[in-house]
Structure 1
Amino acid sequence: MSTGESVSRAAAIGAAAEVGSTAELGTVISQWIGRAVPHDGYMLAAVDPVTGAGCFLAREHGYSPAAARRLTLGDRLDGDHPYPFERLVEGPCRVGVLNTDTPGLRRNAAMCSVMADQGVGSELRVALVDAGTAWGGLVLLRPRGGRPFSVAEAARAQRLGRDVVAAMRRYTTGAPPEPSRLDRPPGVLVVGADDTVAAATPSVREWICELGTLPAHALAEPHMPMESTIWSLTQAARRTNAPALTRIPTRRGWIALRAQPMSGGEKGALAVTIQPAAGTELLQAIALWHGLTPKERAVIDHAVEGLATKQIARRLAMSPHTVNDHFKSIYRKIGVSARDELVARLLG
């Protein structure tokens, strides 16, 4: 990596800590990546590193929400898809290029038609994986009639993948390590088998506004639109026919989204709840985003139980001095100054 590239990387990661929304984060990453791999549109998706469910999304000049969902579902149904994200995550190659009307690997005819209808000629996708953990995916787009992404550009994008993860983590760790402070009752919505919102409590719109992924005019529509993160979570619940969970960082704290199949009523309906993430549920996500070690995580688990330092030391077969060293490292990584503050933040 050249000195110029190193400075650009450092500037992008530093800027990621200062932005106030996922949209701004996407802009920072797109502008930085664009110096090495020019593109006309992008989609940046983060996943909950614990559950793998969608966590937040930023896009500009990318696929429309409807097209992105058609492609996602179509890609999963297409057993011959050359670059499913699930396969890219497993590596060793984390990147793939898909074209519509130029030489190169393609989706099936129906999915290529969706790309063409969106004016997309070439798609470069990168699975964002670091230290054995999947953090999300980045999709770069070029229009039809333009130059497709090259093998060299795909290689550059793969090299930059870990730096994109670093920028996403800097953004996420800028969220307060505490449950969301939005003073509203939990939101509950019912999603029908056709993926439309059948019913919702009044607080749902404010919770979705807090996610920052829908424009104000969409939230003002009489019929609640399906927000992208919620849609991603419902698909995870449908694939497993079991409850699904994701935790989302915001500038007012962490939010937990859960989706689970409903019994009785419409077949295929799901219930989605939106509320502050707290306690062990919050700690699981924070531990990975903030880079806590397994021993540091164990120390916090016992601290949340209310155990004294000597008790924690006995439980973990280490000296009290070592426990205190772990606490100091935890405070530095999470950005708190004392044990009481740490526990109070996690429990809300």
Structure 2
Amino acid sequence: MRADTLQRAADKITGLCGRPSDLVSLWQESTEVLARAVPHYWTPCWYTLDPASLLMTSHFHPGLYEFPREWLVSEYYDDDVNQLVDVVRSPSGISTLHEATGGQPSNSPRWHRNMTLGGDQELITRLRARSGQVWGALALYRAPGEPTFTETEKAFLQSVAPALADGVCRALLLGQAKEPEFADSPGLLVLDDAWEVESATPAAAQWLAELPDGDWAAGRLPSSVITLAARTMRMARSPDTRDIAVSRVQTRNGTWVVLHGAPLTSTGTHRIAVIVEPAHPDRIYPLLTSAYGLTEREKDITGLVLQGASTAQIASELVVSAHTVQQHLKSIFDKTGVHSRRDLVGKVFFAHYEPRFRDNETRSQHGRPLRGHPWPLPRA
């Protein structure tokens, strides 16, 4: 593949990810570009992962709309290579099954599972945003007898992964803004080319009314929104830029929100979408308290266990001793009714993430926004 061809493909994917879109459309359009840049068997499998836990929240694999449950069990309970969490935590963020097995993929149960669908080779790429958060993963396959994935192809996927991650994040936020699920769901504001408000969701009006030096009731936008919109407009007129428009703003009551700017060009005129969300709306930690009564420290340790961290890594991250980590793990196991780390990960996934995973399968087939958080607990 020529370098200029790959560069055009990278620019195309960056452009797709830079504008607001529903997630399935983003994946479908990106798949068309990938098919030319990195030839592969059948169709890719796109995953979303919860950044707080690195557990799967959705998959999109045209032709395999329902992920077999035994494959989920294998992902979270079996001792195998090329598991998603291992790839996304690796230094490179990319791995092939052939490399992970030392050229002997038939030693892996994962290979036998893939071969039932004709996929001899498997390549997994981490989708990690520039912010450092992992929002998903991409799996590509090749049939028996096809050439192995090259270093050039892997380098291309690594180069576009941050843009794809940003696109996933933006699409999930847009879905929450258009179809809110939580009281603090993101809001969507659309400005026309004269800087007038074209539309705003109720959540956007609520968030913007809390920002300083603005007056939503009088129609005066906060300076932070104007600044972000101007920056977004400049970026829209400079197609070579790979930057993203994001800013963090403190509200009148001292909380923080994040503003995301993206250009809208579907009508032929320049318009700006501004998505407003609360900073760090992690859903897993309140869930762990409500469902299992974990303390703050136990929640922190559980989050790291879900992400695949070892005892030594947890101790280093939290600046505590390995013995302290083990004592907390014993308490966590008692409260959650499990006996090992693997059982803990499996229990949290199947209790709180598989319902979301299955709901997203239905949503993807009916044109509804996908969700990136664990399944919410029933309201008291």
Q: Normalization by structure 1: what TM-score?
A: 0.48
Structure with greater strand share of residues: 1
Larger relative contact order, structure 1 or 2 (CA cutoff 8 Å, min sep 6): 2
